[in-house]
Amino acid sequence: MRKLAKFVSLSLADMLILAFAATPAEAVPAFARQTGQACVACHVSFPELTPYGRMFKLSGYTIGQRQALPVAAMAQVGDTHVKDNKDDQGNAIVPKTDQLAFSAISLFLAGKATDNLGAFIQWTYNNLNVNDAGKTVGHSGSDNTDIRLVGRVENTDKTDVRWLYGATLHNNPTVQDVWNSTPAFGYPFTVPPNGIGPIAGTLVDGALAQQVAGMGGYVFWNRTVYAELSDYRTADGVFSWLRAGQDTHTPGGVLRLKGNNPYWRFAYNRDWGANSLMVGTYGLIADVYPDDTLPGTPTDRYTDVAVDAQYQYITDPNTVTAQATYIHEKQDYRASYPATLAGNPIGVGPTPANPRDTLRTAKLKLSYYYDHRYGATLAVFDTRGTLDSGLYGTGSVGGSNNGKPDSRGYIAELSYQPIQYLRLMLQYTGFDKFNGARRNYDGFGRTASDNNMLFLNAWFAF
Amino acid sequence: MKAIICAIAIVLSLSAAAAAAAESTATVQADQNAETLATHVCSNCHGAGGDSRSPTFPRLAAQQAPYIVAQIKAFRANTRGEQEAHDYMLGMVALFDDATAEALGRYFAKQPEPAGTPGDPKLMAEGRRLFAQGANVQGIPACATCHGADAHGNGIFPRLAGQHAPYVVKQLHAIQEQTRKSPVMHGIIKNLTPEQMNAVAVYLQSLS
The answer to whether residue B32 neighbours chain A at the CB level (below 8 Å) is no
Which of B44, B90, B111 is nearest residue A159 as measured by Cβ atoms? Answer: B111
Confidence (pLDDT) at B14? 65
Q: How many CB atoms lie within 10 A of CB A205?
A: 26
CB contact under 8 A, A38 and B86: yes
CB contact under 8 A, A38 and B88: yes
Q: How far is A163 from chain B (nearest CA, A)?
A: 11
Determine the Cα–Cα distance for residues A405 and A427; give it in Å rounded to an integer. 24
CB contact under 8 A, B43 and A159: yes
Task: For A273, name the nearest residue in chain B, comparing CA atoms only.
Answer: B54
Confidence (pLDDT) at B12? 64
Determine the Cα–Cα distance for residues A56 and B203; give it in Å rounded to an integer. 34
The answer to whether residue A37 neighbours chain B at the CB level (below 8 Å) is yes
The answer to whether residue B55 neighbours chain A at the CB level (below 8 Å) is yes
CB contact under 8 A, B92 and A55: no
Q: Which of B37, B54, B56 to mutate to test the interface with A (most CBs of A within 10 A)?
A: B54
Answer whether B74's CB lies under 8 Å from B80's CB: yes
C-alpha separations of A120 from A300, A460, B103 in Å: 32, 18, 33
* Secondary structure of A76-133 as H, E, C letters: EEEEEEECCCECCCCCECCCCCCCEEEEEEEEEEEEECCCCEEEEEEEEEECCCECCC
Determine the Cα–Cα distance for residues A128 and A76; give it in Å rounded to an integer. 11
- Which one-letter amino acid corresponds to residue A60? G
The mean predicted confidence, pLDDT, of chain B is 92
The answer to whether residue B76 neighbours chain A at the CB level (below 8 Å) is no
- Locate all alpha helices (DSSP H) within A290-429, ordered by sequence: 336-341
CA A373, distance to chain mean position in Å, is 24
Domains for chain B: give ranges and CATH numbers.
28-109 (1.10.760.10), 121-206 (1.10.760.10)
The answer to whether residue A220 neighbours chain B at the CB level (below 8 Å) is no
pLDDT, tens digit, for every residue of B121-147? Answer: 999 999 999 999 999 989 999 999 999
CB contact under 8 A, A158 and B39: yes
* Ranges of chain A with pLDDT below 70: 1-27
Q: How far is B88 from chain A (nearest CA, A)?
A: 5
Q: Which of A159, A315, A316, A318 to mutate to test the interface with B (most CBs of B within 10 A)?
A: A159
Answer whether A350's CB lies under 8 Å from B91's CB: no
CB contact under 8 A, B38 and A65: no
Confidence (pLDDT) at B24? 81
The answer to whether residue B173 neighbours chain A at the CB level (below 8 Å) is no
Domains for chain A: give ranges and CATH numbers.
5-461 (2.40.160.10)
Task: For A62, name the nearest residue in chain B, comparing CA atoms only.
Answer: B41
Task: For A272, name the nearest residue in chain B, comparing CA atoms only.
Answer: B53
C-alpha separations of A138 from A6, A56, A130, A388, A407 in Å: 24, 34, 8, 35, 30
Q: Which residues of chain B have a CB within 8 Å of the CB of A41?
A: 87-88
Confidence (pLDDT) at A6? 38
Determine the Cα–Cα distance for residues A261 and A303; give it in Å rounded to an integer. 10
The answer to whether residue B56 neighbours chain A at the CB level (below 8 Å) is yes
Which of A37, A155, A159 is nearest residue B88 as measured by Cβ atoms? Answer: A37
Report the SS3 class of residue A214: strand
The answer to whether residue B82 neighbours chain A at the CB level (below 8 Å) is no
The answer to whether residue A42 neighbours chain B at the CB level (below 8 Å) is no
ipTM: 0.88
Average pLDDT over residues B173-189: 93
The answer to whether residue A51 neighbours chain B at the CB level (below 8 Å) is yes
Confidence (pLDDT) at B21? 66
The answer to whether residue B39 neighbours chain A at the CB level (below 8 Å) is yes
Which of B44, B48, B55 is nearest residue A315 as measured by Cβ atoms? Answer: B55
Determine the Cα–Cα distance for residues B145 and B105; give it in Å rounded to an integer. 23
Report the SS3 class of residue B202: helix
Confidence (pLDDT) at A260? 98
Tell me the pTM. Answer: 0.91
Q: How far is B21 from chain A (nearest CA, A)?
A: 25
CB contact under 8 A, B53 and A271: yes
The answer to whether residue A63 neighbours chain B at the CB level (below 8 Å) is yes
Confidence (pLDDT) at A2? 36
Confidence (pLDDT) at B20? 64
Q: Which of B32, B46, B87 to mutate to test the interface with A (most CBs of A within 10 A)?
A: B87
DSSP B73-96: HHHHTT-B-SHHIIIIIHHHHTT-
Determine the Cα–Cα distance for residues B100 and B93; give it in Å rounded to an integer. 10
Confidence (pLDDT) at A135? 83
Answer whether A92's CB lies under 8 Å from A116's CB: no
Give residue B6's pLDDT band: very low, low, confident or very high (50, 70, 90): low
Which of A38, A56, A65 is nearest residue B87 as measured by Cβ atoms? Answer: A38
Q: Which residues of chain A have a CB within 8 Å of the CB of B75?
A: none
CB contact under 8 A, A160 and B48: yes
Report the SS3 class of residue A18: helix
